[in-house]
Amino acid sequence: MVAQIQTTVGEMVVEFWEETAPKTVANFKKLAGEGFYDGTAFHRIVKGFMIQGGDPLSKGDDPHVGTGGPGYSIPAEFSDRAHVLGVLSMARSADPDSAGSQFFICLGDARFLDRKYTAFGQLIGGVDVLQKIGETPTVSGGGGEKSKPTTRIGVESIKIVPVQAGA
């Protein structure tokens, strides 16, 4: 199974690393299957680093965007998988076991996150879409980081589907 992430600028396809992070993959699939991510946005974009989404508060213009989740957290599943271009990983607070629904996709080499964040998949399609999202102009957000997109990059849907033959 793969995840088709349909955005307002195109589609990305992610292959999961179930053997590396089985609980994280199961949680992501469950949330996607419930439509949890539909209508959210990539609310944090750091050029050359990553794009972040999965916050239910990003469905509207909530001032607390970046703090939302599913109402529970899952345990970290750290591994030796490298955080490099196209890797899907869980966002979290300072507590390693605080991930819930927010995720990020690496725009480049972010190996300093290895064994500190749960990497659980890799893009197998749509790297051009990822890079296009990564070039979205940003302004400083509430914390002063220049990562708030000036244009909304919506997540129309995330669907879990069988791997296409020949993909």
Residue with tokens 């869980």: 90
Beta-bridge partner residues of 51:
45, 105
The Cα-based distances of 44 to 12, 15, 50, 147, 154 in angstroms read 17, 22, 8, 5, 12
pLDDT of residue 81: 97
Give me the percent of the chain exceeding a pLDDT of 90: 92
Tell whether the model's pLDDT for residue 21 goes beyond 90. yes
Confirm if 158 and 37 have CB atoms less than 8 A apart: yes
Entry pTM: 0.95
Beta-bridge partner residues of 4:
13, 159
Could you tell me the pLDDT band of residue 46, with boundaries at 50, 70 and 90?
very high
Tell whether the model's pLDDT for residue 70 goes beyond 80. yes
pLDDT of residue 87: 98
Nearest-angstrom CA–CA distance, 65 and 69: 10
Q: Is 34 exposed, middle or buried (0-12, 13-18, 19+ CB in 10 A)?
A: exposed
Could you tell me the pLDDT band of residue 141, with boundaries at 50, 70 and 90?
confident
All structural domains of the chain: 2-161 (2.40.100.10)
Q: What is the amino acid identity at position 9?
A: V
Q: What is the amino acid identity at position 152?
A: R
Q: Taking residues 42-50, what's their average pLDDT?
A: 97
Tell whether the model's pLDDT for residue 58 goes beyond 70. yes
pLDDT of residue 165: 53
